[in-house]
A and B are shown apart, each in its own frame.
Chain A
Amino acid sequence: MIKPKEKIDLKSGKYLKLWQGPNHPGITGNMSMELTVCGDEIVDCVTHVGYLHRGFEKLMERRTYIQCFPIVCRIAVPEPDYNEYGFVAAAEELAGIEIPERAKWLRNLILEMSRLASFLMWIGGQAGAFGMGTVGQWAVAHRDFMLDLFEELTGGRVYHMYIIPGGVRSPLPEGFEDRMEKVLQKVERLLHDIEIVMFNSAVFKMRAKDLAIITPDMVDRYGLVGPNARSTGLKRDTRKDQPYLFYDQLDFDVITDTKSDVYNRAYLRWREMHQSISLIRQILKQMPDSGEFHVKVPNVLHWKIPAGETYIKAESTRGEYGYYLVSDGSAYPRRVYVRGPSYPTAIPFMEDLMRGVSISDVAGINVSLHTYPPEIER
């Protein structure tokens, strides 16, 4: 499916250089694509990153483990909880800390809530890229209801810093389940409306069907994970394959599709939003009401973690999100590496996938691969 590269002579007058970004007014900003176009067809695409580089991995080498903790959530903006979980779980594994059952349920709850909030943000971008701004307004408004719940639970709207070494920071507030249920019902109504307005829309169907097809053989070659891989028919979900927290006690299926174009990938994510809603309900139902939600960890100022290496991964909305932590036995991490799923997707894969598409579809394809630049340049 991928078009081979052709030889480009910029002096021939046939081609034009066009920059998409870095200030693209969508969630995919802070990254730019240098496009070479012939007419309105793209013949070459080069991704440029570096507009958002904050050097987190290097910063963490200078900080003690507890000082690293409030900065890791800044790595992926719409989904900070996966960073907190990855970093904290890696540190706990090396230090040999067992966390209480209730803390695990609370972690499971916030991870699934953040999946739903991130998908709500994404569907706004996907619809907006094809000219349906209304869906974006609805989705972002409903994400705000989710942010209210995050604020109630953790005190923060965007960055939560909820999952701390040894457990979580606080238990559920009183009446949280009822307010959550109200928001979930609102989101369900929204998803129904989105199906009518977006997925049944002739314009969206005409533009998104058969656009940017991913074939199963590309998945391993480019390291694709998450919905991008699942939409080709491969049953790959870390939550099912290597269950962490309590995913082995929850009832859900891996959602797959048969043909991966922009429309089907969007529809697959829409179904995953329903799955998230069902999982949040199951978690709230099965979660114990009382018990410890935090164990005492050693004095964090002198917290030395035994030497070792570990890799912790979790299934975020974009797929496998992992933390690789190397400790040398001192109070500072030797190396922290963040495996963001957008990295292989946005750089090598998108550069190849963009060849041969029209300029008007670039933003839509970019969003349909669900890339977040902050996690590319940690």
Chain B
Amino acid sequence: MQGFTHLAFITAVDYIEDSQFQITYMLHNYEKHLDLGVRVLIDRDNPVMESIHHLWEHAATYQREWKEMFGIDFPGSPRVDEPMILEGWDGPPPYRRDFDTKKYSDETYFPRPGRVNHDPREYMKKKLYPEE
């Protein structure tokens, strides 16, 4: 693990069917030019992960974003409870798989009368592959 000094990013993946979150840390070694992805699986019902803000300053920003978007807590990380993008949001963490963006936008916004909606899948099929 020596030499992996660059933290490219931290991200989270929601495996809702296994009731788990995967946290990915992407590291890079500038001497040997190697990428190293570290995958950590944590419990989805009690998502708490150790903070690494003491190793990299920008880790705190990633942790703040994933606290907001996935609801994963990183105790001890600076400003982790401050909203980053979603100021004034009181819904569930929106990047989780069970947050339905379509349902949310249907409930929150209303289409103009007289507007026609196509199902994109069917519409593309008709346009691109009419013979199938």
Query: Knowing A50-B85, A55-B101, A57-B95 touch, does A222 contact B128 (C-beta < 8 A)?
Result: no
Kindly state whether residue B61 has any CB partner on chain A within 8 Å: yes
Contacts of A58 in B (CB 8 A): 94-95, 99, 101
Kindly state whether residue A322 has any CB partner on chain B within 8 Å: yes
> Which residues of chain B in 24-80 are interfacial with respect to chain A, using CB atoms and an 8 Å cutoff?
24, 26, 30, 33, 35, 37, 56-58, 60-61
Contacts of B86 in A (CB 8 A): 50, 53
Contacts of B5 in A (CB 8 A): 220
Kindly state whether residue A128 has any CB partner on chain B within 8 Å: no
**Would you call B57 and A221 a contact (CB within 8 A)?**
yes
Contacts of A377 in B (CB 8 A): 85
> Which residues of chain A in 194-224 are interfacial with respect to chain B, using CB atoms and an 8 Å cutoff?
220-223
Choose among A223, A225, A299, A324 the residue with the greatest number of B CB atoms under 10 Å from its CB: A223
**Would you call B85 and A311 a contact (CB within 8 A)?**
no
Bound: A59/B95 CA distance, A: 10
Bound: A311/B9 CA distance, A: 11
Contacts of A347 in B (CB 8 A): 58, 61
How many chain-A residues does the 8 Å CB contact rule pick out? 41
Q: How large is the interface on B (under 10, 10 to 19, 20 to 34, 35 or more residues)?
A: 35 or more
Choose among B33, B85, B102, B121 the residue with the greatest number of A CB atoms under 10 Å from its CB: B85
Chain A nearest CB from B35 CB (Å) reads 6
**Would you call A301 and B57 a contact (CB within 8 A)?**
no
**Would you call A301 and B61 a contact (CB within 8 A)?**
no
Bound: A326/B95 CA distance, A: 15
Kindly state whether residue B130 has any CB partner on chain A within 8 Å: no
Contacts of B13 in A (CB 8 A): 326, 334-335
Kindly state whether residue B110 has any CB partner on chain A within 8 Å: no
Query: Knowing A339-B8, A349-B58 touch, does A50 contact B26 (C-beta < 8 A)?
Result: no
Contacts of A50 in B (CB 8 A): 84-87
Contacts of B14 in A (CB 8 A): 335
Binding site for A on B (CB under 8 A): 5-9, 11, 13-14, 24, 26, 30, 33, 35, 37, 56-58, 60-61, 84-87, 94-95, 97, 99, 101-102, 120-121, 124-125, 128-129
Binding site for B on A (CB under 8 A): 49-50, 53, 55, 57-59, 61-62, 64, 67, 220-223, 225, 234, 236, 241-242, 299-301, 309, 311, 313, 320, 322, 324, 326, 334-335, 337, 339, 343-344, 347-349, 352, 377
